[in-house]
Structure 1
Amino acid sequence: MSKTPCVLFLLFFVLLGFGQASKKSFVVKFVSDIPKIDGILDEPVWQTVDGPKDFQQYFPSDSVLAKQPTIIKMFSNGTTLYIGIKVFSNGNNWIVPSLERDFRAGGNDNISLMFDTFNDGTNAFLFGINPLGVNREALISGGGQRPETDFNTSWDVKWKGESKLFENYYTSEIAIPLTSLKFREGETKWRFQSYRFDMQTNERSVWSHVPQNQSIFSLAFMGDMVFERPLGKSRTPLALIPYINTMAEKDYVLENGSTNLKMGADAKVAIGNGMNLDITVNPDFSNVEVDDIITNLTRFEVSLPEKRQFFIDNSDLFSSFGGSRDANPFFSRRIGIATDSAGNTIENQILGGIRLSGKLNENWRLGVLSIQTDEDASNHIASNNNTMIALQKKVFARSNIGFFFINRQSFKTSDFIEPEDEFNRVLGIDYNLASQDNTWNGKFYAHKSFQPDDHQGNYSAGAFLGYNSRNFAAFSDWVYVDNDFRSDLGFIRRTDIIKSATSIERIFWPQSRWINKHSFQFFPILIWRPMLDYKKTDHDIKLSWLAQFKDQSELTVELSNQFVYLTEDFDPIDSDTSIPLPGSETFNFNVVGLEYQSNRAKALAFKGKTLVGGFFNGRLFSVEGETTVRLQPKAILSLFLNYNNIALPSPYGKADFWLVSPKVKLTFSKSIFWSTLIQYSNQQDNLGFNSRLQWRFAPLSDFFIVYNDNYFVNNFEPRYRSINLKFTYWINL
């Protein structure tokens, strides 16, 4: 066999790792001054230092300089990075919906700063500020390619930023302690990017040019910030974060209630310049925002995002293996959740745990996690140790190879533990591809599980390759999950599948007053079952048209042909009187969809989606919408509505599923926030009230009052009620 194809294949991947170096750069001077962080750039030092300027437009065009100037200046005194910002616009009608920290950038005026401190094009720290001095920070992972997974605002770190309003511009002053960042000792250069949203002129701009077909926070497009003096050792102080939580609760179904006092603590320890050690003892997550209820018409589980602070830092080291939708071997929300003897999902107390994560050196990252959960004998839940070890090696410019080992093991022998559930282990390797300019990206992985009832096989594997240019975008995604593959700490929608998902998209950039771009996409998804002689059991063939308008609104029209071969009975209505659809039957139906998103910068914004068409052997009408009213900067009022009408032929039944969810968010100041969420779902037979008052009385230190109340929807009888008073305090030792 000729070696030529192999050589060309290798050369292809090597070339993807290299490209032209960043062209923009600036120097961060060493100055011993310590300016007052009040948002006013009146200290003489700001006249002597330089920084990024000459921003490029990202929207509505990506080929001209920004019309609204942005000037950034930086210097360091060896312990702190100081940043001065001057942002211009055409007026003083700044859009600031809320005073709450960690806002999302879309639909409001703000500027963000990204620091790739290890120059790897994969991970970065982001700090943002708006015209009223509201701060936000986020961790960017995975090269910043996917907004839904690579951008995490749950991360918290100590820093300070203030803004001051003037005629047609505002200024901001920021102080970031170098101890709040991780970097290599002796480093002389970081990669840097800044992007800005200007709602008054509907312009988005970036310092280092980013094509519109790429994410605005993609780490493939950054310049350099060069330090006048090499950076010293980054030593973060030992941080201790104790908490006290008083809770009163009553379960009306089980007819029991309790009042208790709970105490615990987290600790953060820096190890060298690149590693973090997080320790938790008896953690409590009662202050975490409640999950949004979802109406689920599928046969499969739905994944929800991780919001618990302990699992956030360097979370991509653990969670980015495999395919996030079908074959994710590690899903941190599995920890602290268990299934009782009746098949119900309930909370499982975490006794404690550790997370060691970060950079070993320029090319290697390490993650070690070990969490111990408590035994709940009354619900037949064992005490488990949940451990994961992940190692990642950078290759080429922005690609990496990762290795992991997962072990979930019962801590002691109990009568209610089945032999096959004593342990579950998964071993795997992933290759993540990202070209220098992000035109090509991909993932290739192979995983194997081990458990007491081990069989031959137990594999999961996949391959993804994507191409993204200005006028064309395409990808092909293949997934294989063996029937006996099992990952107790993962998210595996179903086993015994071979899945193919391919997308081809043609993008147009018309010279239009109204439309910025529009595209046509052909997106077929097919699934085969190896255990059924590779029978095709599912397909979803989609054809869609998407338009993005100059006013930031979007419209999507979609046609879908769906095919389902049910391998077992399925009851989408799931009522006492409904009859399941029979297994071993084939269903083929068509659906038409329409989706619209208005300009989120408006005081009144709306997004809606409707589906009309077939549903197995019947019909489906679905409408979903959310209206948001902004009374800036003190209040945001929103109403979410989801309605699904399912009409199946006799004798299978009909159903009307309603999900209604109003939400009120009030920000009394930049330190006091109150939010109330009401969720009514007749599919889940629950009316829930969640109200949370937060007072941030010191940096990263909070007092919470959280009230929960839940009722059955048919008779409005109470099912569960609780109130929490929680106090946390961040102490640097």
Structure 2
Amino acid sequence: MFKKVIYFLGLVLCSISTYAQDIEFKKIDVPVIIDGEIDEIWATADSAYNWMQYFPYDSSLAVNQSVAKVLYDDKNIYVLGIMYNATDDRIYVTPSLRRDFRGAANDNFTVIFDTFQDRTNAFTFGINPFGVRREGLVTNGGSGERSFSLDWDNVWRGEAKMYMGYWVAEIAIPLNSLRFNEGQSNWNVNFYRIDSESAERSTWAPIQRNFTLFNLASLNVAKWEEPTKRSGKNLSVIPYVSGNYNQNLEEGKDAQTGFNAGFDLKYGLTPGLNLDLTVNPDFSQVEVDQQVTNLDRFEIFFPERRQFFLENADLFADYGQRGTRPFFSRRIGVSRDESIGQNIESAIPLGMRLSGKVNDNLRLGVLSMQVSDNEAASLPSYNYSMVSIQQKVFSRSNISAFLVNKQTFESPKEYSDSLYNQWDRTVGVDYNLASADNKINGKIFYHYNIRETNIDSTFAAGMELEYSVPKWSLNMRSQMVGANYAPEVGFVRRTDIQQLAMTYRRRFFPSSGGVQRHGPGLDFDVLGNGTYGLLDWDMNILYDITWRSSAEFSMRLRRQYTYLFNGFDPSGTDGLALPANTEYTTNLIIARYRSDERKKLSYELSTRSGQYFNGMRWNLEGSIQWRYQPLGFTSIDFAYNGIRLPDPYNDANLFLIGPRFDFTFSKKLFWTTFVQYNSQIDNVNINSRLQWRFAPVSDIFLVYTDNYLAENQEGFIQFGGSKSRALVFKMTYWLNL
């Protein structure tokens, strides 16, 4: 009872204090012991208190208050988080003990450092009550979910302990793990907490609920007791060794074995500018891409996961719009074998990347990767290079310019004209707009693709503008893509188009009941060109609901028009194609529901059903997950597409089923098995990975992959023999020098 009185008395005291605060990094001479316990040294630290609620409301103090404290010495920044609960006896939620957790179902404490005070890019470090850690990067001001990535890794320490009525997080972040300028007096900082029991999300610096939880426009200021200094030489070497066994059973080829070794080197040329070198890189630890049922006429985008390309990735990858990117790093090391019509991997003997801050207002990115020739595909060796500069203007906006170059220095005599292309270049400029209060965001861009042969219409241009306040938001975007705009190192979903799109959303926030917010919206997207006129358009009536439990529902009623300028088989079975120069107007429903992820059993369901070209499509997709914390979870992803077309076109029943078993025996030992059955390609893929993190950011991997023939015979799946099999061993070690 006494503890509850003290707790609510603290809330009263907080409520009569001012919300706006600063915090100071105070220097200490003795390192903090990272054990999740509050030692006496923390009594000297400055505190961040009076945390505000972000969800479900953003206008009151958090019910479950928290306190953060900061200290530093010559080598580390230390952060303490004390997360109080309104009740003494409670159970915290985590899906597993695996690093880099994400989602509203995870109790966690996170710190955000905007080290250059540009309110555009930041580092995040988080930990949950079980001591599981995560680190990530925020780009583009944190203006959307895609601006927060957990793919970046670095070395730091953290521990957490649970107590009666609260839990404690203690963090030590090496100064060498961060990028910043010497002589700085201030950083921008925020802390946030997710509390699973109450589904409450709270922040130290208040953030409006129409923005993201990691929005960088709303940070508070952290002062340094002494100006920042560089700590040591900031040099890391990450060597690896790997061995592999591969067998193509379908073609009856002999098994192949191999051994490989290489390393990455990270060197801080200045506190803000980092040099990355890679020698004979190997990316076998990357998880297999999740398969999809492809009923699209255009290429599907898969995001980059390779660690080498991730830090400061926005300097290279964020030009243009999502479907029109002049640089896409997954093109590097992947070539097209036209003889078999498939993508194949090519070796990368050497790569270099220089990226970061030159000064407070100028960022620089330089990348060069050498890819070996591929004799089997008759492809020469290519160099992939990019230079990117970004100059800050006004409070949070910037102007960016780039040059991408793909070039071979080998003679064309050894290659056929259809395969040999000496060089391909793309240049461009983007203006990225972000207002000081984050209400207005947008961009304008113009890119030009330069070829060996002089042809026209090799450009892409566009704009986007979004205005967002708590009660409503408006997004408008348009682009023009030339008929011959085809950067070989880019991702361009469609060419020869003119596009205009708009989305309007209205939000209501009930003062009582189980709904946190809801509201309608309108959306349209129109594409056309000078040759065919209208190509595609859709108009949508939207409605979104978010519950205080964090469950979500969204629905749109769509009327859609499609013009086929090429023949296309909508059944996805390589059947008779619908003829070119035909048009279709259809009505369909698109809906999605995600349940309360705090429950042990959670699920997500979606549908895209209704009229489909000249027939009907019945679609159900989703995932079901059972959590047995803290050991892990079992889930199953599934997709069904029932397509009914009039004769003589094919009907289809396409299934995609993917059970996943994820066991985290400890915070260092993980085992994941992922099975994928795809009836569209008659394949069952098994990928099983054992990972042991034997030292910070240092791992041993054992990965087994098998592919089996699987045919659907009158509703029953008939399994054939193995088509291919592979076994990979890999060890990496992160060494700070």
Q: Same fold (TM over 0.5)?
A: yes
Say which is worse superposed, 208-217 or 86-95, in terms of deviation. 86-95
Amino acid of the residue matched to residue 699 of structure 1?
Answer: P
Q: Which residue of 2 aligns with 1:430?
A: 430
Could you tell me whether the CA contact under 8 Å between 2:295 and 2:572 is conserved in 1?
Answer: no
Work out whether 1:732 is the aligned partner of 2:736.
Answer: yes
Go from structure 1 to structure 2 and tell me whether the alpha carbon gap of 1:105 and 1:226 turns closer, same or farther (over 3 Å shift).
Answer: farther
Number of the residue aligned with 2:597: 600
Aligned to 2:41: 45
Q: 3-state SS of the aligned residue for 2:531? A: helix
Name which of 613, 622, 625 aligns with 1:625: 622
Alignment of 1:186 onto 2:195:
no
C-alpha contact (below 8 Å) 1:506/1:520 kept by paired residues: yes
The aligned residue for residue 9 of structure 1 is none
Work out whether residues 109 and 169 of structure 2, in 8 Å CA contact, stay in contact via their aligned partners in 1. Answer: no
Q: Which amino acid aligns with 2:448?
A: K
Task: Look up the match of 2:127.
Answer: 129
Q: Is the 8 A contact 2:160 2:170 kept in 1?
A: yes
| Regions of 4+ moved over 4 Å | none
The superposition leaves residues 601-628 of structure 1 with CA deviations (integer Å, 9 ceiling, x where unpaired) of: 1111011012221110000000012111
Q: Does 1:581 align with 2:578?
A: yes
Alignment of 1:301-320 (within 5 A): 301-320=299-318
Partner of 1:718: 722
In structure 1, what residue type is equivalent to 2:526?
Answer: L
Residue 497 of structure 2 is aligned to residue 493 of structure 1: no
Q: Distance in 2 between matches of 1:491 and 1:548?
A: 34
- Between the aligned partners of 1:583 and 1:23, the Cα distance in structure 2 is 62
Partner deviation per Cα, 1:571-595 (whole Å, 9 max, x = no partner): 122435x210100001110101232
Q: Secondary structure at the residue paired with 2:492?
A: coil
CA contact (8 A) 2:708 2:722 kept: yes
Structure 2: how far apart are the matches of 1:193 and 1:373? 42
Letter in 2 for 1:477: R
Match for residue 477 of structure 2? 477
Residue of structure 2 equivalent to 1:366:
364
Task: Report the Cα distance in structure 1 between the residues aligned to 2:589 and 2:123, rounded to whole angstroms.
Answer: 41
C-alpha separation in 1, matches of 2:511 and 2:256: 66
Residue 245 in 1 paired to residue 249 in 2?
Answer: no
Distance change >3 Å, CA 119–CA 234, structure 1 → 2: farther
Instruction: Find the counterpart in structure 2 of residue 54 from structure 1.
Output: 50
Contact kept, 8 Å, 2:37 with 2:161, in 1: the verdict is yes
Q: Is 1:64 matched with 2:54?
A: no
Shift in Å, 1:92: 2.5
- Residue pairs, 1:137-156, within 5 angstroms: 137-147=135-145, 149-156=146-153
Q: Aligned AA for 2:112?
A: M
Q: Distance in 1 between matches of 2:343 and 2:62?
A: 52
Deviation (angstroms), 1:24: 2.8
- Say whether the 8 Å CA contact 2:388–2:400 is kept in structure 1: yes
Deviations 1:232-282 (A, max 9, x none): 124453211111101011012333220111111111111111111111111
1:87 maps to 2:91: no
Deviation for aligned residue 1:730: 1.4
SS of aligned partner of 1:624: strand
Q: Secondary structure at the match of 2:577?
A: coil
Counterpart AA for 2:674? L
Question: Per the alignment, in what secondary structure is the counterpart of residue 51 of structure 1?
Answer: strand
Q: Which residue of 2 aligns with 1:291?
A: 289
**1:697–1:84 CA distance, 2 compared to 1 (3 A):** same
1:311-710 superposed matches below 5 A: 311-325=309-323, 327-341=324-338, 342-413=340-411, 414-418=414-418, 421-532=421-532, 535-575=533-573, 578-710=575-707
Q: Does the CA contact (< 8 Å) of 1:628 and 1:639 recur in 2?
A: yes
SS at the partner of 1:531?
coil
Q: What CA distance in whole angstroms lies between the structure 1 residues aligned with 2:231 and 2:528? A: 52
Alignment of 1:272-287 (within 5 A): 272-287=270-285
Q: Does 2:31 match 1:28?
A: no
Q: Give CA-to-partner distance per residue, 1:293-325, whole Å, 9 cap, x none.
A: 111211011101111101111101000100112
Letter in 1 for 2:326: P
TM-score by length of 1: 0.95
Q: How far, CA to CA, are the matches of 1:315 and 1:352 in structure 2? A: 19
Q: Distance in 1 between matches of 2:251 and 2:185?
A: 62
Q: Once the 2 structures are TM-superposed, how far is the Cα of residue 419 of structure 1 from its aligned partner?
A: 7.8
Per-residue deviation, 1:563: 0.4
Task: Give the residue type in structure 1 aligned to 2:156.
Answer: W
Shift, 1:531, TM fit: 3.4
The alignment covers a number of residue pairs equal to 706
CA distance in 1, matches of 2:47, 2:334: 48
1:640–1:661 Cα contact (<8 Å) kept: yes
Q: Distance in 1 between matches of 2:185 and 2:319?
A: 32
Identity %: 39
Whole-angstrom CA distance in 2 between matches of 1:189 and 1:250: 57
Residue of structure 2 in register with 1:14 after alignment: none
C-alpha distance in structure 1 between counterparts of 2:398 and 2:639, whole Å: 41
- Pair 236,398 (structure 1): closer, same or farther in 2 beyond 3 Å: farther
Counterpart of 2:504 in 1: which secondary structure? strand
1:694–1:702 CA contact under 8 A, matched in 2: yes
Match for 1:164 among 161, 166, 171?
161
Q: Distance in 1 between matches of 2:698 and 2:419?
A: 45
- Assess if the C-alpha contact under 8 Å between 1:382 and 1:417 holds in 2: no
- Separation in 2, partners of 1:711, 1:411: 41
State the alpha-carbon separation in 1 of the partners of residues 367 and 137 from structure 2: 19
Q: In structure 2, the residue corresponding to 1:485 is in which secondary structure?
A: coil
Question: What is the Cα deviation at residue 228 of structure 1?
Answer: 0.8
SS at match of 1:205: strand
Q: 1: CA distance between counterparts of 2:655 and 2:204?
A: 46
Opposite residue 616 of structure 1, the aligned amino acid is F
Question: Do the aligned residues in 2 keep the contact of 1:420 with 1:452 (CA within 8 Å)?
Answer: no
Instruction: State the secondary structure of the residue aligned to 1:512.
Output: coil
How many Å apart are 1:632 and its aligned residue? 0.3
For normalisation by structure 2, the TM-score amounts to: 0.94
Note if contact 1:659-1:681 (Cα within 8 Å) is conserved in structure 2. yes
Q: Offset at 1:404?
A: 0.2
Counterpart of 2:70 in structure 1 is 74
Mark the runs of 5 or more structure 2 residues left unpaired by the alignment.
1-18, 712-718
8 Å CA contact 2:80, 2:168 repeated in 1: yes
Once residues 26 and 359 of structure 2 are traced to their aligned partners in structure 1, the CA distance between those partners, rounded to angstroms, is 26
Question: Secondary structure at the residue paired with 1:581?
Answer: coil
Q: Indicate the residue corresponding to 1:4 in structure 2.
A: none
| SS in structure 2 of the partner of residue 45 of structure 1 | helix
Greater CA drift, 233-242 or 100-109: 233-242
Structure 1, residues 450-491: CA drift from partner, whole Å, max 9, x if none? 111221331100011111011110011001100011211111
Can you list the C-alpha shifts for 1:103-135, whole angstroms capped at 9, x where unaligned? 114211101100000000110000000101111
Distance across 2 between alignment mates of 1:724 and 1:140: 33
Q: 1:727 corresponds to which letter in structure 2? A: M
How has the CA–CA distance of structure 1 residues 419 and 343 changed in structure 2, closer, same or farther, with 3 Å as cutoff? closer
Local SS of the residue matching 1:220: helix
Is residue 573–residue 680 contact of structure 2 (8 Å, CA) maintained in 1? no
Q: CA RMSD in A?
A: 1.3
| Corresponding residue for residue 714 of structure 2 | none
1:169-228 CA deviation, whole Å, 9 max, x = no partner?
111111111111111101111000111100112211011110111111111110011011
Is contact 1:138-1:154 (8 Å) kept?
yes
Letter in 2 for 1:495: T
CA distance in structure 2 between the aligned counterparts of 1:308 and 1:182, rounded to whole angstroms: 20
Amino acid corresponding to residue 66 of structure 1 in structure 2 = A
